[in-house]
């Protein structure tokens, strides 16, 4: 299996901030399809292994939105961190899909589906933890005990839940405009009902606010949220995360950003702060 996993095909290599923006395709046995992901290697990676961050994107995105729009490479080069950007779901003609923009392909919610027809391919949690991370460890110059995770919207949900459930695997976490409690918002309810079935108890394993009740993290959670984000009230529910953290005395660094919306212009404006934050957390 490991041999199969490591058959990476390089499909992109572009110079950027004196490092390399790379793109790979590989077959994923876990997802039952071919997958594409991107890696930014800063110039320091030529000579040494480096701390690294996984970026999880939001609904409708693939690996390219972050790579082309966030402007992260500048800061990754400045701080000497590698950034890995996976896709947001399994892909391809053989993978079940719908017409909806917020469910199925482009909307994997970083979970393991249990319901037909989704369960065969939609295993993004296992893909990331058991396939992509080992693959990156084996093929990229990463320091394997200096690993952070961050993301946007659905990807913010993914970053928070994966960190909360795997805090020996990750050492830092942050999010932009995360879906804080998917079991209580339309995006999450639609997805969880179809991916996970009607038993809402089983949904809680993919809900940041529920997971914080069960066990916190040994390090803070950092979140930035735009106050002019159209999705703030109905879908993101940042207030629920604040309450969950307060109830558990969990450290939350929350920056509410006046005038900012849900777009990559918001992400670009603060990605530098997030990368600096992770670099500092991973230094310890």
Does position 68 interact with its own copies (CB under 8 A)? The reply is yes
**Cβ of 126: how many Cβ atoms within 10 Å?**
14
Residue 34 Cβ vs its own copies, minimum distance, rounded to whole Å: 24
Does position 14 interact with its own copies (CB under 8 A)? The reply is yes
SS3 181: coil
Work out which of 230, 265, 280, 283 binds its own copies, going by CB under 8 A.
265
Complete DSSP assignment for 201-235: GGGGGG-HHHHHHH---SS-EEEEEETT-TTIIII
Does position 55 interact with its own copies (CB under 8 A)? The reply is no
Does position 225 interact with its own copies (CB under 8 A)? The reply is no
CB 244 within 8 A of CB 161: no
Nearer to its own copies, 5 or 70 (CB): 70
Does position 3 interact with its own copies (CB under 8 A)? The reply is no
Helix, strand, coil % in the chain, rounded to nearest 5: 40, 25, 35
* DSSP tag of 45: G
Does position 269 interact with its own copies (CB under 8 A)? The reply is yes
The long-range contacts involving 117-123, CB below 8 angstroms and separated by at least 24 positions, are: 118/194, 118/195, 120/32, 120/96, 121/31, 121/32, 121/33, 121/90, 121/94, 121/95, 121/96, 122/31, 122/89, 122/90, 122/195, 123/30, 123/31, 123/90
Residue 141 Cβ vs its own copies, minimum distance, rounded to whole Å: 18
Residue 281 Cβ vs its own copies, minimum distance, rounded to whole Å: 23
Active site residue 102: no
Question: Of 26, 52, 262, 274, which one is the catalytic site residue?
Answer: 262
Does position 231 interact with its own copies (CB under 8 A)? The reply is no
Work out which of 49, 74, 165, 194 binds its own copies, going by CB under 8 A.
74
Work out which of 38, 44, 57, 73 binds its own copies, going by CB under 8 A.
73
Q: Which two tokens stand for residue 133?
A: 């991370």
Active site residue 63: no
Residues 202 and 192: their CA atoms lie apart, in Å, by: 9
Residues 74 and 72: their CA atoms lie apart, in Å, by: 6
Q: Which stretch binds its own copies (CB under 8 A): 8-16, 126-134, 172-180, 246-254?
A: 8-16
Active site residue 262: yes
Work out which of 25, 69, 120, 250 binds its own copies, going by CB under 8 A.
69
Does position 226 interact with its own copies (CB under 8 A)? The reply is yes
Work out which of 60, 189, 248, 263 binds its own copies, going by CB under 8 A.
263
Nearer to its own copies, 220 or 272 (CB): 272
Give the list of residues 6+ apart from residue 208 with CB closer than 8 angstroms, or none. 157, 160, 161, 164, 178, 180, 181, 241, 244
Please give the angle made by the CA atoms of 110, 262 and 129, to the nearest 5 degrees: 15
Nearer to its own copies, 73 or 172 (CB): 73
Nearer to its own copies, 65 or 172 (CB): 65
Which residues belong to the active site?
153, 229, 262
Binding positions for its own copies, rule: CB under 8 A: 14-18, 21, 68-69, 71, 73-74, 226, 228, 257, 259-261, 263-266, 268-269, 272
């Amino acid at each position: 299996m490991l041999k199969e996993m490591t058959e990476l095909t390089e499909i992109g290599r572009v110079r950027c901030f004196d490092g390399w923006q790379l793109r790979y395709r590989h077959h994923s046995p876990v997802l039952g399809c071919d997958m594409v992901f991107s890696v930014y290697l800063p110039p320091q990676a030529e000579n040494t292994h480096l701390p690294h961050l996984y970026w999880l994107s939001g609904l409708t995105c693939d690996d390219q939105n972050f790579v082309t729009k966030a402007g992260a490479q500048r800061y990754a080069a400045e701080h000497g961190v590698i950034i890995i950007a996976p896709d947001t779901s399994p892909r391809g003609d053989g993978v079940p899909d719908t017409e909806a923009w917020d469910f199925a392909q482009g909307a994997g919610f970083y979970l393991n589906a249990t319901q037909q027809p989704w369960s065969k391919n939609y295993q993004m949690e296992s893909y990331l933890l058991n396939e992509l991370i080992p693959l990156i460890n084996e093929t990229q110059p990463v320091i394997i005990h200096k690993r952070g995770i961050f993301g946007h919207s659905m990807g913010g949900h993914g970053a928070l839940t994966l960190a909360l459930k795997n805090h020996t695997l990750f050492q830092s976490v942050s999010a932009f405009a995360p879906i804080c409690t998917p079991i209580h918002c339309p995006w999450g309810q639609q997805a969880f009902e179809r991916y996970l079935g009607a038993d809402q108890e089983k949904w809680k394993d993919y809900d940041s606010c529920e997971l914080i009740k069960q066990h916190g993290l040994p390090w803070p959670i950092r979140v930035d949220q735009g106050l002019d984000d159209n999705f703030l009230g109905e879908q993101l529910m940042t207030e629920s995360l604040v309450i969950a953290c307060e109830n558990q005395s969990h450290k939350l660094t929350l920056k509410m950003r006046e005038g900012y919306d849900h777009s990559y212009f918001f992400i670009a404006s603060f990605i530098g702060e997030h990368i600096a934050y992770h670099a500092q957390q991973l230094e310890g």
